[in-house]
């Protein structure tokens, strides 16, 4: 027992001295943290001061690229359409590289989310595939529309269907479910596998307004998808030899056939000439009184530098392609 008591005393003494040594080190370490934090804050504070002291640029002229004088500063957020998101993200990346005082955050969430965010003030810019008249909850007088690009849609079919051209009436019959075999419209004897977009999708809304003209899409398709990649895999794959759907023309790959409508194929020139009707404009909405950075950013997207070099590589057409509004834009 004496031995164990001795041992216990030794353990306690060792623990106490350990704590004291450890405690001293701990105190030094604890002092270091606020010191570093203080240094960091001072450093950040000085850069903040610099950016707020520089004059914020007004809205640049529509055709000029942002020079140093036209660069606006501040922080804005853009949200909404996932179809438009790649274009806005690329523009934000380039703009922030040229204008270091600007911070632009881009997120998705869908066209409806974008519209409601810009109306409520949660986002400075709302990206949308469809005009604001489609969102009943948003007051159109409080927001301002900027059309930034043209997106062309194409009807795609599986090569096994054997069609390369369809009339508007035939497309309406196929998508409403009246035509169930491709041989009725001049193709091979293959049943139609209809792949629709999910109800509420901006692409579906545009297609319905541009092409279906009041006829509803079939209530019982083979499946509904929203991701462009899944639509392409579904239409072009082995599980749907008669697959048909619609996508943005720039996304269609070689596994599917882009159908020409009334003899006109999906090209920018056809849209410009007014012979191809299946297109719509991409919108970026701001409040009627927008922040200078939001205006400057949208002007940068509308500038000829961005429109001619970046827009087409991202799968869209420059907004200057056509001044006509499609049925989907009404």
Partner 1 sequence: MISGQGGGATAPPARAQNAAAVPGLRRRSRLIDRASRHVLLAGAGINVVVVALVVIFLLSRAWPTISNIGLGHFFGSAKWAPDEGLGFGIGSFGALAPIFGSFAVVTLGLLIAVPFALAVAVFVTETNPIVGERFIRPAVEVFVGIPSVVYGYLGFIALLPLLHNFAPPGRQGSGILAAGIVLAIMVIPTIATISADGLLSVPGALREGSAALGATQWQTIRRVLLPAARPSIVSGIVLGFARAMGEALAVALVIGDVNVIPNFAKEGLGALLEPFTTMTVTITDGVDKLAINPDGTAARYMLAVVLLVVTFLAIIMVRLVTRGRRGSRA
Neighbours of 123 (CB within 10 A): 27
Q: Are 60 and 98 in contact (CB under 8 A)?
A: no
> Using CA atoms, how far apart are residues 56 and 248, in angstroms rounded to an integer?
38
x/- binding map, residues 136-165, to partner 1, per CB under 8 A? xxx---------------------------
Residues 228-287 that bind partner 1 (CB under 8 A): 230, 233-234, 237-240, 242-243
Q: Are 168 and 211 in contact (CB under 8 A)?
A: yes
> Using CA atoms, how far apart are residues 230 and 239, in angstroms rounded to an integer?
13
The residue count for binding partner 1 (CB under 8 A) is 48
Q: Are 101 and 53 in contact (CB under 8 A)?
A: no
Residue from 6, 24, 31, 37 in contact with partner 1 (CB under 8 A): 6
Please identify, among the stretches 32-40, 84-92, 103-111, 246-254, the one whose residues bind partner 1 according to the rule CB under 8 A: 103-111
Q: Which residues contact 1 (CB under 8 A, 6 or more apart)?
A: none
Q: Report the candidate in 192, 199, 189, 159 with the shortest Cα–Cα distance to residue 173.
A: 192
Of the pair 193, 260, the CB lying nearest partner 1 is at 193
What are the structure tokens assigned to 73, written together? 């500063």
Of the pair 233, 265, the CB lying nearest partner 1 is at 233
Of the pair 162, 234, the CB lying nearest partner 1 is at 234
Place of tokens 């003899």: 263
Please identify, among the stretches 32-40, 53-61, 153-161, 186-194, the one whose residues bind partner 1 according to the rule CB under 8 A: 186-194
3-class secondary-structure state, position 160: helix
Q: Are 81 and 129 in contact (CB under 8 A)?
A: yes
> Using CA atoms, how far apart are residues 310 and 314, in angstroms rounded to an integer?
7
Of the pair 219, 289, the CB lying nearest partner 1 is at 219
Residue from 73, 85, 158, 225 in contact with partner 1 (CB under 8 A): 225
CB of 242 to partner 1, least distance (A): 7
200 binding partner 1? (CB under 8 A): yes
State the sign of the Cα–Cα–Cα–Cα dihedral 135, 136, 141, 142. negative
CB of 205 to partner 1, least distance (A): 9
219 binding partner 1? (CB under 8 A): yes
Helices marked H in the chain = 2-53, 85-98, 111-120, 168-176, 202-207, 228-236, 268-273, 292-302, 304-306
Of the pair 74, 109, the CB lying nearest partner 1 is at 109
x/- binding map, residues 106-135, to partner 1, per CB under 8 A? --xxxxxx-xxx----------------xx
198 binding partner 1? (CB under 8 A): yes
> Using CA atoms, how far apart are residues 163 and 293, in angstroms rounded to an integer?
49
CB of 199 to partner 1, least distance (A): 6
Binding site for partner 1 (CB under 8 A): 1-2, 4-6, 8-9, 12, 108-113, 115-117, 134-138, 180-181, 191-195, 198-200, 219-225, 230, 233-234, 237-240, 242-243
């Amino acid at each position: 027992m004496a031995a164990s008591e001795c041992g216990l005393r030794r353990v306690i003494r060792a623990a106490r001295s350990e704590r004291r040594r450890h405690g001293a080190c701990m105190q030094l370490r604890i002092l270091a943290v606020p010191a570093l934090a203080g240094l960091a804050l001072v450093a950040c504070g000085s850069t903040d001061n610099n950016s707020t002291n520089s004059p914020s640029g007004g809205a640049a002229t529509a055709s000029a690229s942002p020079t140093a004088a036209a660069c606006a500063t501040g922080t804005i957020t853009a949200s909404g359409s996932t179809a438009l998101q790649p274009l806005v993200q690329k523009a934000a990346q380039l703009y922030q590289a040229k204008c270091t005082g600007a911070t632009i955050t881009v997120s998705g969430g869908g066209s409806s989310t974008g519209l409601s965010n810009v109306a409520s003030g949660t986002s400075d810019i709302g990206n949308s595939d469809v005009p604001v008249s489609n969102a009943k909850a948003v007051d159109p007088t409080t927001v301002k529309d900027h059309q930034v690009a043209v997106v062309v849609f194409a009807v795609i079919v599986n090569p096994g269907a054997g069609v390369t051209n369809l009339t508007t009436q035939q497309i309406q019959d196929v998508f409403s479910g009246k035509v169930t075999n491709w041989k009725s419209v001049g193709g091979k004897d293959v049943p139609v596998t209809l792949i629709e977009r999910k109800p509420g999708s901006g692409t579906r809304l545009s297609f319905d307004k541009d092409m279906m003209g009041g006829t509803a899409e079939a209530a019982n398709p083979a499946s509904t998808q929203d991701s462009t990649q899944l639509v392409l895999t579904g239409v072009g794959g082995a599980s749907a030899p008669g697959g048909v759907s619609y996508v943005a023309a720039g996304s269609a790959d070689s596994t599917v056939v882009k159908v020409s409508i009334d003899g006109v194929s999906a090209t920018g020139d056809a849209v410009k000439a007014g012979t191809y009707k299946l297109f719509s404009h991409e919108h970026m909405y701001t409040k009627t009184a927008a922040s200078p950075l939001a205006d400057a950013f949208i002007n940068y997207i509308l500038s000829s530098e961005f429109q001619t070099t970046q827009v087409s590589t991202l799968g869209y057409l420059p907004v200057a392609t056509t001044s006509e509004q499609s049925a989907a834009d009404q």
